[in-house]
Amino acid sequence: MILQKLKFHHLQPKTLISIFLILVLLLSLSAYSEYISRRRSVTQMMSVLSQGLSEIIRKAAVNAILSYDAVETEFASRQIEALHFLDPTDFSTKALRRFANRYGFDRVQIIESNGGSISSNQSSALSFPPPIALKLLGSNLSEIILGWQFDSTLTTNLFGVAVNSGNGFVAVGYSRARHLLDLRKETGLGSLINSITQDSGVIYIAIQDSLGILAATEAVDSLSSFPADPFMQTVIQEKSFRWRIDNFHDEKIFEGVLPFNVQEFSYGAIRIGLNYRPIQNIETAAFRQVFIRIGILFIIGFILAVYSISLQNIYLLESEKKQITDEVYRLQADLRQREKLSAMGELAAGVAHEIRNPLNAISMTIQRLAKEFPPTNGDMEQVQLIQSVRKEIARIGEIINQFLAFARPAPLQKSRQNATELITKVVNIYQATCDSRRIRLIWQQVSPIKSFLDSDKITQCLINLLENAISATPDGGRIEIILKKSQGKIIISIRDTGSGISPENISKIFNLYFTTKPNGTGFGLAQAYQIISEHGGSIGVKSKENLGSQFTITIPNQ
């Protein structure tokens, strides 16, 4: 029996090369896309970090500057008041020395209208009278603050004030005011930013204006000036936070810049340089992924080449068979065919096993690339898919930020706060929401109760608890807030008439990401628990199903 020549379809070398190049392109694009996505995530986190640090420095520096100014003004007022007690009938050196010793002056000097000094408690007078002090003569001004000046005789900085004696003379008083210098060092911008740079991820922090650097960490010897740096000019003009990748001491850094103002007066900008290593690690990982995927492609290409050669050999063997004339040849041919099919099956099974996972990866890559191609011809379905993906990416990014904030909470910024006012502000925020649902929000204001708190964090804690109560309370229900002081502690209770909490869940409600709400994140109560713990307090809950819940916060009143 004669069989027709069998023809096997086989892969040509050009086809293999084309497939290989396409796979290289697809996987390279996949690796690049992954690198861009990761780099964007890291730069976004570094941007949030640098902006957060800038805001902390700005707020702390503003408070420090205002606090120092208030103390300095108070000290100047006391010095001016003391100069008013100076006896205008006795300007002798002896009298001035007694006066200086009594009121803590290091130098007291009497200046006449022509600028000359007629008397002083020191053996030598100032090298020249302060011009601003002479403005008191012949004017309606009775007193003036001279500020800090260097006394070459005493070789130290002195803080000066001047008063018009009313008889053609000006009395000038100078003090070393060591407590002001100490306060200035403790609350100065330099000490503040140096304490923050203890974090190894922060390369430098600097506060700079158009004239130069006002304060900076030790690592900073020079930075680009405003006139010579278009980026800095843009930041100052737009009055908003911006970031860039720059060089510092011949190394790449991530720099965030925030304009810095105090009471509408521009102090310049806060510049924070962060370590570029996280982004560098992403780049290294991306290159590593490219090399790994290309290596996998070479393995796949080798397997495909072997497979193609095998098919070609089988084709050549079969094409040489001309005819089979008897049953023996037929049986032999049949046996050989079975053996070949078995070998091909084993080979195909082995190949399938080797390429299954790479093919799955290719499928996922194609899907991802399809999503990243921009929509054409008004394809609304594709637009909706892209928007959905973007929303999910944003949501995942927010969950990551929350977790970082939870894992590394910012240090407490405690100050003496009126707890009554804090609660009142939160109640005012949600009063309209409760009114729209006919929920009675009961808050009986009490006399001011003050305590050392981080107002922002306590406010966030109260917001989380009140939102939780509102979501659990049905229309027409009631929410009651109580504040009291007991045994050196302040106690805040939030009670609602909502659905309550089941006994099996009550021990889990403060667990991170535990929630029973369909759209809940499980983050609010965990964050509230952390905030109160940071304050050295406690938060507890009592609840009965279908009757309501009561959350009680206890914070030491220190």
Question: Taking the CA of residue 368 as centre, how many other CA atoms within 13 Å lie in the half-sphere pointing to its CB?
Answer: 15
Sheet holding 143-151, edge to edge: 117-120, 107-112, 169-175, 156-164, 143-151
What CA–CA distance (Å, rounded) separates 115 from 125? 12
For 95-129, how does the pLDDT look when each residue is reduced to its tens digit (9 = 90+)? 888 888 888 888 888 877 665 666 777 766 555 45
Q: Amino acid letter at 514?
A: F
Q: What is the pLDDT along the chain (558 residues), one digit of tens a residue?
A: 433 443 434 556 667 667 777 877 777 777 777 778 777 877 888 888 888 888 887 887 777 777 777 888 888 888 888 888 888 777 788 888 888 888 888 888 887 766 566 677 776 655 545 666 666 666 667 788 887 777 777 677 788 888 887 677 788 888 887 777 676 656 556 666 777 776 667 888 888 877 677 778 888 888 888 888 889 888 888 888 899 988 888 888 899 999 877 767 777 888 988 888 887 787 777 777 777 877 777 787 777 777 767 766 676 666 666 665 654 564 453 344 334 333 433 433 343 344 444 534 544 544 564 556 665 666 667 556 655 655 654 554 565 556 556 666 778 889 999 999 999 999 999 999 999 999 999 998 788 888 889 999 999 999 999 999 999 999 999 999 999 998 889 999 999 999 899 888 887 788 766 788 777 767 788 888 888 888 888 888 999 988 999 999 999 887
Residue for token digits 């407490």? 412
Locate the domains of the chain by residue range: 415-556
Phi-psi group of 546: left, alpha or beta (phi > 0 → left; psi -120 to 50 → alpha; rest → beta):
left
Q: Of 210, 236, 261, 257, which is closest to residue 59 (Cα–Cα)?
A: 261
- Residue 425 vs residues 420, 460, 509: alpha-carbon distances, Å: 9, 11, 26
Domain 415-556, CATH among 2.60.40.10, 3.40.640.10, 3.30.565.10, 3.40.605.10: 3.30.565.10
Q: Amino acid letter at 399?
A: I
Residue 483 has a CB neighbour count (10 Å cut-off) of: 19
